[in-house]
């Protein structure tokens, strides 16, 4: 059982859906991220997934959702 923190940053040329599905197959989380992407991003989003214990030190990433397994 793992917990993942879901982050996104608006970028181009990133297959964000494939990356997200490969790391966290949860329909509710996926739907949340898609809705956030549609509402908040005008260009494709990169979904970056870290384990719960990962120490985030990049100020340009914004927490958008959390997917607990």
For 66, the 3-state DSSP assignment is: strand
pLDDT of residue 67: 44
Number of domains in the chain: 1
Q: CB atoms < 10 A from the CB of 56, how many?
A: 11
Exposed/middle/buried for residue 63 (C-beta within 10 Å: 0-12, 13-18, 19+): exposed
Q: Is the pTM of this model over 0.85?
A: no
pLDDT of residue 34: 55
Strand segments, DSSP code E, in the chain are 3-10, 45-51, 62-68
Q: CB atoms < 10 A from the CB of 37, how many?
A: 20
Per the structure, the complete domain to which residue 60 belongs is given by: 3-68
Q: Tens of pLDDT along the chain (69 residues)?
A: 344 444 444 333 345 554 444 444 444 455 555 555 554 444 444 444 443 333 443 333 444 444 443
pLDDT of residue 30: 53
């Amino acid at each position: 059982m793992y917990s993942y923190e879901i982050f996104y940053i608006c970028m181009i040329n990133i297959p964000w859906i494939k990356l997200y599905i490969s790391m966290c197959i949860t329909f509710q989380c996926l739907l949340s991220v898609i809705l956030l992407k549609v509402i908040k991003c005008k260009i494709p989003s990169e979904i970056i997934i870290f384990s719960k214990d990962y120490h985030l030190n990049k100020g340009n990433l914004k927490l958008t959702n959390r997917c607990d397994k």
